[in-house]
Structure 1
Amino acid sequence: MTDLEALFRHGPPRRLAYFVRASRPPFVRPMPRVLLVLVIGWLPLFLLTLLTAPNDLRDLLNDIAVHARYAVATPLLVVAYGSCGRRLGLIAGNFARAGLLDDHGKQVLREQLAASRRLLDLHVVEVATVMLAFAVAIATLSGLTINEDLAAWTRDPGGKVLSLGGFWQFAISLPLLLTLLLGWFWRIMVWARLLARLSRLDLNLIASHPDQCGGLGFLGQSLRAYSAFGMALGTIAAGRLGHDHLLGTSTSFTDWLLAGGSLALVAVLCLGPLCVFSGGMMQTWRWGSMAYGALATDLGTRLETTWLGRQRSAEQEAASRERPEILEAPDFSAAADLFTVTGGVQSMRFVPVDPRSVVVLTVATLLPFVAALFLTMPFNVVIATLKGLLV
């Protein structure tokens, strides 16, 4: 594994995993890590409920929100560390390989990659992430009334204190999920900082580049890399949606709010950092559209003069002599090629993403909502609900 591949695998909770020996074999591979977080965050909820309150086991089985958070979202965040972390580093390194940087720019890239590594490995961030995760878990519990707001399996038969399963959820399962989430938020902040620094360099953007992004189209791969992360966020919200449907407290507005809010959050976190290149791309487009537009006009005028007998003014003749000869009669292919290139320049995008990558991330984020609906509602009702979300 190269340093670039390992770069964004650093960050919280990497040192915590090392402290509890979860970064050593066999936990260096994704599947053992997934099993570990399931054993820590999800399985004890069943075991403790079965031992202390077996009558509430059915209530736990029906708690879709809990399973969505700890059996699906938490493992997805762990999977994202391997898949997305590796690809983000390779995408950052491609700035040098793609010919976008001069020697000075390549030196700045190396310096910024080293700075990103230092930020990801900060001890204070690691400690703050864990402490904040526990603080949020405690604040969440303190804002709830045990005998009114919590499910039956999370409280003892008297309804005044937490059961062992409920205690484990707020003491271990929820902080584990929040630690992984906060670690990802910090990783995205470092990624955004790196892109912001690179956007200030004198990038060699090409208006006629076939990716229609000036040569930055490879950055769109980051959206596909974020698929597991986006699905994890969608799963958390979809679990709440399914829980509300089972209780009969959902409405079309809340369904739309959960789905739309999740998609908006994923867009801000994953697509937002790429917008720092919009200024440079717009400047490249403005220059390219004028330069290629003038060249296409000159070539079209020559073509019509040669084959259609169109007359040109003295100013057009003078401007034409200043440009290299690009049309050799009777070659029409030169005109067709230039007009195609000019059309591509005019269609240049202002954010370095392609529609397919956006669709992949969108589907990954919204797929858990479809699954939640099918788990909690009859098929015909699900179809009607989906139509309501789309219309």
Structure 2
Amino acid sequence: MSRGDAEMLFEHAPPLGLQRRLGLLGSDDLAFRRRALMVILAAWMPLLVLAVLQSAWARVDLITPVLREVGLHTRYLIAAPLLVLAEATCVPQLNAIVRHISDGGFADERDRGRLDEAIASTRRLLRSRAAEICVFVLAYLIVLATILSRPLDQLPVWAQPVGGMPRYSLAGWWHMLVSLPLLLALILGWLWRLALWTRLLWHVSRLKLRLVASHPDRRAGLSFLGLSVRALAAVGLALAIIPAGRSANVVLGGSVLPTPHIVFNVALLLAIAALFIAPLLVFTPTLMRTWRQGALAHDALAERIGHAFEHRWLARKAEEDARDPSDFSAVADLYAVVENVHAIRLVPVGLKDLLALAVALLLPFVPVLLLAVPRDVIWAHISSLLF
């Protein structure tokens, strides 16, 4: 496999292929900023324009409800374009990890062909036109299920029918036919990436890997895989913005967040975190096997060296000039190596990786917390810390 094959791998996922076939992108130009702007212009801007037009036509105020709909703006003005911009930071990191696996000598030479085939099949599936069609079909099926399951009186004011429009307002129809399917397609595209990322890691874990049980990272040399969790934090931020916007909408409406609402948000954030961490669990059996074999081998070595060291230094008839002080440092270094083997962690992810993901998931809820808690209460607690 060439170096370029690993460098251009996870870029091509739905709905990127459709944009390229429509002539919106060049063969190698991913144009993250331009695509993010196109998402805003297609998903968010028409909702405002159509609300203005229908307000003037039907002589009802749909503009104010649209402007006050925080969840709407967070979904299509922030979260949707951020799902595009996340490709600029996340995708190169995933590609770098694949390149490191390929070029770092982790796979046995006899398994080199299997590794190359796993990467090649991942590329084919990422660029699959059938997968892209399925993403859009599934997106519209979710929209259809939403339409059928949500009564009209539960719709936002700006989406309810006015001026003789059937079922929805103009903005409501655009939301159902364009804005929401586009957001869902972006989310499903990332889920497809994650599915293929998991599949690729599973294939790699099935190879005969050259792991080092005594590696100082205490993950047998696989700690670099945890960087994928940190890279996916940008996607997690975009996904967390959606429920945070919905919660902000409730708080700004003068209501207190009900307990089921809070429980749902917590469960959703945990599910997103699990979604990003779960692919690394495919290496748990490999790390367990490496730990078991390495612990037995290093314990036996430590026992032999330890007996020899104690016999040399503790034997009563040992000659003073036969004692070498460097023995202490050599044995201490060996025992530190053995300690690394016994401390192998069974999931190749570090605390810094988890913290980066946690910050990204919780950050959108900081404004919600500030809105939910009155400023005088916040200041009272701060002042109580100072006086």
- Over 3 Å counting, the alpha-carbon distance change for 1:108 and 1:66 in structure 2 is same
- Over 3 Å counting, the alpha-carbon distance change for 1:380 and 1:219 in structure 2 is farther
Conserved? CA contact 1:53–1:153, under 8 Å = no
- Over 3 Å counting, the alpha-carbon distance change for 1:250 and 1:89 in structure 2 is same
User: What secondary structure is seen at the aligned counterpart in 2 of 1:214?
Assistant: coil
Give the CA deviation at 1:71.
Answer: 1.2
The separation in 1 between residues aligned to 2:260 and 2:103, in whole angstroms, is 48
| Number of equivalences | 367
RMSD value, Cα: 2.6
1:340 corresponds, among 336, 342, 355, to: 336
Equivalent position amino acid for 1:353 in 2: V
Conserved? CA contact 2:212–2:220, under 8 Å = yes
User: What secondary structure is seen at the aligned counterpart in 1 of 2:62?
Assistant: helix
Give the CA deviation at 1:250.
Answer: 1.7
Aligned residue runs from structure 1 range 286-297, under 5 A: 286-297=292-303
User: What secondary structure is seen at the aligned counterpart in 2 of 1:9?
Assistant: coil
Give the CA deviation at 1:27.
Answer: 6.9
Larger mean CA deviation between 27-36 and 123-132 belongs to: 27-36
User: What secondary structure is seen at the aligned counterpart in 2 of 1:7?
Assistant: coil
Number of the residue aligned with 1:358: 354
The separation in 1 between residues aligned to 2:130 and 2:77, in whole angstroms, is 29
The separation in 2 between residues aligned to 1:194 and 1:143, in whole angstroms, is 37
Equivalent position amino acid for 2:80 in 1: T
- Over 3 Å counting, the alpha-carbon distance change for 1:378 and 1:51 in structure 2 is farther
TM value normalised by structure 1: 0.86
Number of the residue aligned with 1:319: none
User: What secondary structure is seen at the aligned counterpart in 2 of 1:53?
Assistant: helix
Conserved? CA contact 2:32–2:85, under 8 Å = yes
Unaligned runs of 5+ in 2: 381-387
Give the CA deviation at 1:227.
Answer: 1.2
The separation in 1 between residues aligned to 2:169 and 2:296, in whole angstroms, is 70
User: What secondary structure is seen at the aligned counterpart in 2 of 1:352?
Assistant: coil
Equivalent position amino acid for 1:68 in 2: T
Conserved? CA contact 1:77–1:181, under 8 Å = yes
Give the CA deviation at 1:79.
Answer: 1.3
1:199 lines up with 2:205 in the alignment = yes
1:378 lines up with 2:374 in the alignment = yes
- Over 3 Å counting, the alpha-carbon distance change for 1:214 and 1:140 in structure 2 is same
1:62 corresponds, among 65, 68, 84, to: 68
Conserved? CA contact 1:26–1:32, under 8 Å = no
Give the CA deviation at 1:360.
Answer: 0.6
The separation in 1 between residues aligned to 2:204 and 2:183, in whole angstroms, is 32
The separation in 2 between residues aligned to 1:267 and 1:287, in whole angstroms, is 31
User: What secondary structure is seen at the aligned counterpart in 2 of 1:209?
Assistant: coil
Give the CA deviation at 1:99.
Answer: 1.9
- Over 3 Å counting, the alpha-carbon distance change for 1:164 and 1:212 in structure 2 is same
Conserved? CA contact 2:312–2:323, under 8 Å = no
Conserved? CA contact 1:220–1:352, under 8 Å = yes
Conserved? CA contact 2:299–2:338, under 8 Å = yes
Number of the residue aligned with 2:264: 257
The separation in 2 between residues aligned to 1:278 and 1:195, in whole angstroms, is 12
Give the CA deviation at 1:2.
Answer: 2.6
Number of the residue aligned with 2:219: 213
- Over 3 Å counting, the alpha-carbon distance change for 1:157 and 1:26 in structure 2 is farther
Conserved? CA contact 1:156–1:163, under 8 Å = yes
Give the CA deviation at 1:253.
Answer: 4.6
Number of the residue aligned with 2:93: 87
Aligned residue runs from structure 1 range 139-178, under 5 A: 139-146=145-152, 148-157=153-162, 161-178=167-184
Equivalent position amino acid for 2:154 in 1: D
Unaligned runs of 5+ in 1: 312-326, 385-391
Number of the residue aligned with 1:316: none
Give the CA deviation at 1:29.
Answer: 2.2
Equivalent position amino acid for 1:267 in 2: A
Equivalent position amino acid for 2:155 in 1: L
Equivalent position amino acid for 1:181 in 2: I
2:40 corresponds, among 20, 30, 38, to: 38
Conserved? CA contact 1:207–1:285, under 8 Å = yes
CA deviation string 1:311-338 (max 9, x = no partner): 9xxxxxxxxxxxxxxx972211102211
Larger mean CA deviation between 359-368 and 54-63 belongs to: 54-63
1:270 lines up with 2:276 in the alignment = yes
Give the CA deviation at 1:289.
Answer: 1.8
Aligned residue runs from structure 1 range 114-153, under 5 A: 114-146=120-152, 148-153=153-158
CA deviation string 1:4-31 (max 9, x = no partner): 2221111211221113322239973221
CA deviation string 1:97-148 (max 9, x = no partner): 22211222222111111111111121111111112111211221221122x2
- Over 3 Å counting, the alpha-carbon distance change for 1:137 and 1:382 in structure 2 is farther
Identity %: 38
The separation in 1 between residues aligned to 2:103 and 2:37, in whole angstroms, is 38
1:49 lines up with 2:28 in the alignment = no
Give the CA deviation at 1:372.
Answer: 3.0
TM value normalised by structure 2: 0.87
1:222 lines up with 2:222 in the alignment = no
Conserved? CA contact 2:162–2:168, under 8 Å = no
Give the CA deviation at 1:380.
Answer: 6.0
Number of the residue aligned with 1:9: 11
User: What secondary structure is seen at the aligned counterpart in 2 of 1:36?
Assistant: helix
